Structures are given as structure tokens and as C-alpha cells.
Amino acid sequence: MTDEELHKKFDAAVNFVNSYTEPLPADLLLKLYAYFKIANRNFENPGSRTPLINAFKANALFQAKNISAEEAMQKYVALVEKELKSL
């Protein structure tokens, strides 16, 4: 898959998640959050007003810290296809 194809698939997956109307499990949301942040090279601290949510987000980022932006995009797309599009 070319870099351009990966970006298109990633953007489509992000749009799919953003338009998804059913509630999603917290663990899935945290994985998607981490992959999205890494794929976009956004390494700022989580910005929730709730410290516990920030801790969960920081932990999700920490668990995925050793992957590249491209790998994060691939994992995001695969997670969306496996967990959401199969419903």
C-alpha cells in the first residue's frame, strides 16, 4: 500500500469513527485515541478536565509509544475495520 493510499484509508476511517452514532467501549476509544495522536504526530498532553481521563489517555499513549506514524495509521484502520465495520 502506498503512502497516499494509507492516508486515504486513515482519513476514511477517522471520518467513519467521527460519524459513528452508537456508544463505543472505552478500551476501543483509548486505542483509537492513541493511534490517532501518534499518526498525527501530536504528542501534547491529554486535555481533559478530568484527571482520571487524562491518566487513561496518557497510559494509552504510553502503551503505543514505540510505533511509527505510519504503523499507527495502519493499526487505526485495522481496528476500525475489525471492531466497527463488522457490526
Angle at 31 between CA 26 and CA 33, to 5 degrees: 90
Question: pLDDT grade, residue 85 (50/70/90)?
Answer: confident
Comparing 85 with 62, the larger pLDDT belongs to: 62
Predicted pLDDT of residue 87: 55
Residue pLDDT, tens place only, 33-67: 999 999 999 988 888 889 999 999 999 999 999 99
Predicted pLDDT of residue 32: 97
